[in-house]
Amino acid sequence: MAASESATDSAASVDRDGVLVAGDQQAVIDVSFGGQWVWSFHAGRDTRPEAGRARAPWPVNLRPFLRGTGHVTVRERFGDRVLFDGEYAFDGSDHRVAVVDGQGRPLIVDKAGDLQCGFSERGEPTVQALLDAIEDVLGRLRDEGGVDAFLAFGALLGAVRDGRFIPHDSDADVAYLSRHTSPVDVARESYELERVMIRAGYWTWRFSSADFKVIVPDPEGGRAIDVFAGFVVEGTFYLMPEVHAPNFDTAVILPLGEVELEGRRITAPADPEALLEITYGPHWRIPDPSFKFETPHPVRRRLDGWTRGNNTARGHWWPFYFGRSSSTVSERPSPFAEWVHLRESADVSIVDIGSGTGRDSLWFARQGHEVLGLDYIPAATDRAGKVAAAEGIPARFKTLNLYDLRQVLGMGGELAHRSEPPVLYGRFLIHALEDVGRHNLWRIAGMCLRRGGRFYVEFRTGLDAGVEKEFGEHFRKYLDPEVVVAEIEARGGQIEHREAGYGLAVYKNEDPHVCRLVATWKR
């Protein structure tokens, strides 16, 4: 594709794969489209060598927006040296590149690689709603959870720098200093704090056994408050998910103080500057949207062993449900849902695992089935739950992480204790799972279907792998039906029905080769 440059020293170039800069660059680089800043990277850390230069690949979640032609500007953040400024045609379409959400608001690539709408683009009602929620969450952590909770990370950083949220940030963070010194007890405490939030009516989503996300409804669709455990083990302070400080003095945090954020006094550490230096290093006062934690390997390994959950596939599905992509999913039931409905009586309850936007779950409920929809991303379950409540149909939705054994065993036990066994339903689920998630899925089925019920599964076989996908790139592991059948049978299941071919899951211009299985479990 072609690019035309202007007003630059040709120190950088762009193409369909990313940005190329001089190989000896060690600067923070800003990338803008049509004058809108979208992404920053560190030229030394976030690039790979290529033909004597250094390439920063386009972030995965930005790529779906790079269609048509756009005016791209690449410049150094500190010093404003322009490295590239010109038009670039990413493909042959006549579209203009627009990195915006469904409401036309500019999106930015955040520190996790997700596309978000920053605080600078959000209205005052949204900011005030988030502040209300921060105060409520901190109060509940203190009064009901019994922990010393305080503002942390980006929210604390913005408050100390200039009393406001960081313009390019998109959520809020709080933390607490646990009195426990055993990681097991820290984890138990974190789960109890999550239950406090659930009882208060919040939706939650867990990162690991020591940190979780609280979903806060707001006038623009919902924000998040992350709740991170801080704890001291053998003199070293750990603050989830990345921070550690040897020879830690708890006087940095206790007794708690306050900082001003957007005109309000919010609970904060005793010495917020000291905690920010521990968190971000000595240059924490200098804004750097390319900042990434560089946790030493021994510390990361220790935290992984003590507390980590698994965020597999979060990089695609989180922005998918917060952005505009999910709005393109049909609201009509899938052919597989209609096929299952014809095989089951209307009074059978259905558990839709990987319910996504809820298109099939909601349709099942409209046909009279009692439905439980389970999905990895709370934005999906929240949205579908609101639709069900508005329509008054018998569907409820919960989050489930199939890579977290605690959640898997809990859900399996809950379903196994129902008075009547449910029907399990998994459409286009197992090819989006890595092995451990798929194996945990069979574990749930084995736990709850021993007294009856069926498991309906539809998945892509990979005979058409490489065909353009409707909803962007994300993890797929195309499976041989023989392998899936063998796994089910090895875990006590038996196949009641099996078919595979084209024409079973046609959607727009896609006709993937899929396999349908119906499995039961031995009593």
Instruction: List pLDDT tens digits, range 463-475.
Output: 765 444 444 444 5
Average pLDDT over residues 7-24: 81
The band of 331, judged by pLDDT with boundaries at 50, 70 and 90, is confident
What percentage of the chain carries pLDDT values higher than 70?
Answer: 90
Nearest Cα to Cα of residue 222 among 99, 129, 299 = 129
Superfamily of domain 315-521: Vaccinia Virus protein VP39 (3.40.50.150)
Q: What is the model's pLDDT at position 330? A: 59
Instruction: Dihedral sign for Cα 506, 61, 63, 96, please.
Output: positive
Q: What is the model's pLDDT at position 3? A: 56
Nearest Cα to Cα of residue 431 among 336, 340, 514 = 514
Most confident of the ranges 3-7, 353-357, 370-374: 370-374
Q: What is the model's pLDDT at position 472? A: 46
- Break the chain into its structural domains and give their ranges: 3-116, 119-309, 315-521
Instruction: Enumerate the β-bridge partners of residue 151.
Output: 174
Asked if pLDDT for residue 507 goes beyond 90, the answer is: no
Query: What CA–CA distance (Å, rounded) separates 188 from 307?
Result: 11
Calculate the CA 11 to chain-centre distance: 35
Answer yes or no: are the C-beta atoms of 140 and 176 closer than 8 Å: no
Q: What is the model's pLDDT at position 315? A: 52
Query: What CA–CA distance (Å, rounded) separates 267 from 313?
Result: 34
- pLDDT one-digit tens code per residue, 207-221: 888 999 998 876 665
Query: What CA–CA distance (Å, rounded) separates 85 from 9?
Result: 9
Which range, of 68-72, 204-208, 320-324, averages the lowest pLDDT? Answer: 320-324
Most confident of the ranges 7-21, 241-255, 279-293: 241-255
- pLDDT one-digit tens code per residue, 431-452: 989 899 999 999 999 999 999 9
Q: What is the model's pLDDT at position 494? A: 96
Residue 345, CB half-sphere, CA atoms under 13 Å: how many? 4
Burial of 104 (C-beta count, 10 Å sphere; 0-12/13-18/19+): exposed
Instruction: Dihedral sign for Cα 163, 164, 166, 172, please.
Output: positive
Distance between start and end Cα atoms, the chain: 61
Asked if pLDDT for residue 17 goes beyond 70, the answer is: yes
Nearest Cα to Cα of residue 99 among 58, 60, 63, 74 = 63
Cis upstream peptide for 422 (omega within 30°): no
Q: What is the model's pLDDT at position 5? A: 46
Orientation angle between helical segments 297-307 and 183-199, nearest 10 degrees: 60
Answer yes or no: are the C-beta atoms of 223 and 172 closer than 8 Å: yes
Asked if pLDDT for residue 54 goes beyond 60, the answer is: yes
The band of 171, judged by pLDDT with boundaries at 50, 70 and 90, is confident
Q: What is the model's pLDDT at position 205? A: 82
Cis upstream peptide for 333 (omega within 30°): no
Domain 119-309: which CATH number of 3.40.190.150, 3.30.460.10, 3.30.390.10, 3.40.50.1110: 3.30.460.10
How many CB atoms lie under 10 A from the CB of residue 388?
20
The C-alpha R_g of the chain, in whole angstroms, comes to 25
Asked if pLDDT for residue 403 goes beyond 50, the answer is: yes
Owner of token pair 């579209």? 95
Query: What CA–CA distance (Å, rounded) separates 427 from 124?
Result: 40
Asked if pLDDT for residue 53 goes beyond 80, the answer is: yes
Asked if pLDDT for residue 13 goes beyond 70, the answer is: yes
Calculate the CA 260 to chain-centre distance: 29
Asked if pLDDT for residue 19 goes beyond 60, the answer is: yes
The tokens describing 82, both together, are: 């322009």
Nearest Cα to Cα of residue 169 among 180, 181, 184, 153 = 153
Query: What CA–CA distance (Å, rounded) separates 175 from 153?
Result: 9
The residue with greater pLDDT, 135 or 510, is: 135
Average pLDDT over residues 12-35: 91
Average pLDDT over residues 334-338: 95
Average pLDDT over residues 131-158: 97
The residue with greater pLDDT, 79 or 319, is: 79
The tokens describing 316, both together, are: 């695609």
The residue with greater pLDDT, 379 or 72, is: 72
- For the chain, the maximum distance between any two Cα atoms, rounded to a whole number of angstroms, is 74
How many CB atoms lie under 10 A from the CB of residue 357?
21
Owner of token pair 């409920």? 365
The band of 8, judged by pLDDT with boundaries at 50, 70 and 90, is very low
Average pLDDT over residues 324-351: 83
Answer yes or no: are the C-beta atoms of 99 and 107 closer than 8 Å: yes
Most confident of the ranges 60-74, 100-114, 289-303: 60-74
The residues near 483 (Cβ < 8 Å, ≥ 6 apart) are none
Angle at 218 between CA 217 and CA 221, to 5 degrees: 80
Helix (H) or strand (E) holding 274: helix 272-280
Our CA dihedral for 407, 411, 417, 423, rounded to 10 degrees, sits at: -160
The band of 321, judged by pLDDT with boundaries at 50, 70 and 90, is low
Asked if pLDDT for residue 326 goes beyond 60, the answer is: no
Q: What is the model's pLDDT at position 376? A: 85
The residue with greater pLDDT, 91 or 121, is: 91
Average pLDDT value for the chain? 88
Instruction: Enumerate the β-bridge partners of residue 85.
Output: 73
Q: Output the pTM of the full model.
A: 0.66
The residue with greater pLDDT, 507 or 140, is: 140
Nearest Cα to Cα of residue 351 among 228, 457, 478 = 457
What percentage of the chain carries pLDDT values higher than 90?
Answer: 65
